[in-house]
Structure 1
Amino acid sequence: MAQTEALPIDNTKKIKAGKNIKRGILNIFLGVYALLTLYPLIWLFISAFKSNNEIYAAPFALPESLKWDNFVRAWEVSGMGKAMINSFIVTIVSLALLLVLGALVAYAISRFQFKFRNAIYALLLFGLLIPVHSTLVPLFTMMNEVKILDTYLALILPYFSFELPIAVFLLAAFMGSFSKEMEEAAFIDGCGYWGIFWKIMFPLSLPALSTVGIIGFLRFWNEFAFALVFINDSALRTIPLTLSVFSTGYSTDYSLTLAAMAISVIPVVVLFLIMQDRIMQGMVAGAVKG
């Protein structure tokens, strides 16, 4: 009788042991993956404190001494202060347009039935298939005609426009999952379409908006090709353009380049640390409700 009762207990222990082993293997795998993912960022900040000779001689070794003047020289030589202000202006304005107009378009497509609705939605999604950089020449010609080259608008308009399709796609899928009863209750309380959007739809869509925002921020902040073609005025250079001043056709000052790259990465890391909960909520919500 004692043996008969012991068998289920032994099986339970074996099952628990097997689960613990699987969990341990999974944790090890995730730890290794996280380390491999973070290593380029770690290497960047370590190498930013090295001299050029150290980088050439031992690129993966720790610096012999921390050379803080790399950051000072990189900041002064490239004019990163002004470039960072330019990047913030372009990125924040583009993001504001993307989130507000993207949410409005997604609200109309997901909650209303009107003529050519599916055609408009398909046309927007078709924008996802357009190779962005294939439009550089026609955009340059158009901007030259309307005299907006070497202005913030030369970057803001294409940034926001090319990111709009993915924003509408994500937000429309998210808003489409909301129940009609909320809108009906709001109508009964005397709320119009604008009130429903700003007081109900927009706040409830914050997880998806956070996901769209972080994707847009990374693309706008790091974009190089449009800035290179549309901006010639050194006073309007963004962060990616300033990183190119340390490289010529014959040599590259890697110590200053890496220091400048480390400075440019800091706002992105800070934003991620602040918004990580929202980002995870948005990713999970998008996976569940999409």
Structure 2
Amino acid sequence: MELRTSRPTVKSPSNHFLGKGLNGLGKLLLLAYAAFTLYPLYWLFISAFKTNEDFFNHPYSLPLVWMKENIVRAWNLGHMGRAMMNSTLVTVSSVILTLVLGILAGYVLSRFQFRFKKVVVVLFLTGMLIPIHSTLVPLFLMMKKIGLLDTYGALILPYTAFELPIAIFLAIGYLASIPREIEEAAMIDGNGWWGVFGRIIFPLCTPIVATISILAFLRFWNDFSFALVFINSSALKTLPLSLALFSDGFGTDYSLTMGAMAIAVIPTIIIYLILQEQIMQGMVAGSIKG
């Protein structure tokens, strides 16, 4: 019998250098994309310390004189302390309500079989197709009748309702990837469905909770139209409404506007930096089964 020995494959120098070149090109493109993405933030923060004249004459350069007073004046004139408290209260309440309802609904729809289940899922997901701003007038009339206008509830309830479809969609995809054997083992140990969910399933949902939280936070924190229509009292105005104070029908004070925007964007950056790893896990976990 003739024996054949396999020869080890040797990479040619040309293929080796080609691979390294493509790898370096990929890193260079990613670096360029990162710089392109981060530049607006850089421009915002340097513009926050410029005078109006410097803003127009040298829009892309560093400030000739660093006007730290812009931040203080924007904070005081826009009543941003009060507005930030209002935005925080509305946003945190809406995010918590969205998480509780979204995760529970996603758990039921991903684990239980019942009649008309597909119809219920389709109804929930149809909410993603509804243009939010087309509902402003009917919502205004509805809230006026039930006395919710100019209250925190006028923002919390619509925010939660319009964020639930995407929250349920993400939760279904993620929870479907969790093995059912974990639940069966917990049931054998004497846990009921609430015990299984609270002790086993929910602690495993950290990535999708972080993903839903940051997506909901960005939408609620930056919303302007709902707050403009449903809120009239200056004591309840949120941050986007405070930013509008620096612009009127005759002109815009860009130095104060940029200072106020720099203040408003800081909480978003902090929360994203804290949750970024969990967000990436949550976005891809639903595509992996088992």
TM-score range, shorter chain: over 0.9
User: Structure 1 or 2: larger helix share?
Assistant: 1
Aligned amino acid, residue 242 of structure 1:
S
Partner Cα distance (1:286, 1:274) in 2: 21
Partner Cα distance (1:245, 1:43) in 2: 22
Aligned amino acid, residue 261 of structure 2:
M
Aligned residues of 1:174 and 1:289 also touching (Cα < 8 A): no
| Secondary structure of the corresponding residue to residue 150 of structure 1 | coil
What TM-score, normalized by structure 2, do the two folds share? 0.95
The count of corresponding residues between Structure 1 and Structure 2 is 284
| Unaligned 5+ runs, structure 2 | 1-7
Tell me if 1:40 matches 2:40: yes
Structure 2 equivalent of residue 194 of structure 1: 194
Tell me if 1:74 matches 2:74: yes
Cα distance, 1:98 vs. partner? 0.6
Structure 2 equivalent of residue 61 of structure 1: 61
Residue deviations 1:171-200, cap 9 Å, x none? 011111222211111111000010111111
Aligned amino acid, residue 230 of structure 2:
F
Aligned residues of 1:46 and 1:63 also touching (Cα < 8 A): yes
Structure 2 equivalent of residue 176 of structure 1: 176
**Residues 1:38 and 1:289: Cα distance change in structure 2 (over 3 Å):** farther
Tell me if 1:97 matches 2:97: yes
Structure 2 equivalent of residue 140 of structure 1: 140
Aligned residues of 2:102 and 2:167 also touching (Cα < 8 A): yes
Structure 1 equivalent of residue 106 of structure 2: 106
Tell me if 1:272 matches 2:266: no
Aligned residues of 2:107 and 2:175 also touching (Cα < 8 A): yes
What TM-score, normalized by structure 1, do the two folds share? 0.95
| Secondary structure of the corresponding residue to residue 62 of structure 2 | coil
**Which consecutive segments of 4 or more residues in structure 1 shift more than 3 A?**
8-13, 286-290
| Secondary structure of the corresponding residue to residue 59 of structure 1 | coil
Partner Cα distance (2:254, 2:289) in 1: 46
Cα distance, 1:283 vs. partner? 2.2
1:144-159 superposed matches below 5 A: 144-159=144-159
**Residues 1:67 and 1:289: Cα distance change in structure 2 (over 3 Å):** farther
Tell me if 1:207 matches 2:207: yes
Partner Cα distance (1:137, 1:289) in 2: 43
Structure 2 equivalent of residue 129 of structure 1: 129
| Secondary structure of the corresponding residue to residue 65 of structure 2 | coil
Residue deviations 1:86-122, cap 9 Å, x none? 0000000000001111000011111001122111111
RMSD: 1.6
Partner Cα distance (1:9, 1:190) in 2: 57
**Residues 1:9 and 1:125: Cα distance change in structure 2 (over 3 Å):** closer
Aligned residues of 2:211 and 2:283 also touching (Cα < 8 A): yes
Residue deviations 1:228-283, cap 9 Å, x none? 00001000000111000000101100000000000000001111111111112212
Partner Cα distance (1:244, 1:234) in 2: 12
Aligned residues of 1:91 and 1:217 also touching (Cα < 8 A): yes
